[in-house]
Amino acid sequence: MFHIYCPYCEEYREEEEFHAKGQAHLARPADPEACSDEQWGDYLFFRDNPRGIHHELWVHAIGCRKFFNITRNTVTYDIYETYKIGESPRFTAEHPEGKPDEQVAAEKVAAEAEAVSRQEGVKA
């Protein structure tokens, strides 16, 4: 038994409360009609299977029932971090020791600005 940190509940909970839902950060093509069969098939069926750092979508099924992301090492099974949907991971294949604080802060500002512009687009 081990514990996973839920970024919404803001506490560690037993692993049995969670379910893995596959690869994280999959973006649905904006215009599916414009995709080739190969592009659409890649989106639907093909996933990365890296050795090392991997980002996964998980759900806190017996808890807040919210989806979030986990950065996990597929070799050691270590969980490096959990983060909310829309946030960027600190640990990536390019930054296995973690991104510098300045880069994380800049990405957070950019994500918030994008969220605001999306909201304004909805109102218009």
What are the start-end ranges of the H helices in the chain?
37-45, 101-123
Residue 67 binds Zn ion (CB under 5 A): no
66/99 with CB nearer Zn ion: 66
Least CB distance from residue 55 to Zn ion, whole Å?
18
Question: What's the CA gap between 107 and 123, in Å, rounded?
Answer: 25
Q: Are 48 and 91 in contact (CB under 8 A)?
A: no
Query: Minimal distance in Å, beta carbon 71 to Zn ion?
Result: 17
Scanning residues 4 to 23, which ones bind Zn ion (CB under 5 A)? 6, 8-9
Tokens found for residue 7: 């970024």
- Judged by CB under 5 A, the chain residues 79 through 98 that form the site for Zn ion are none
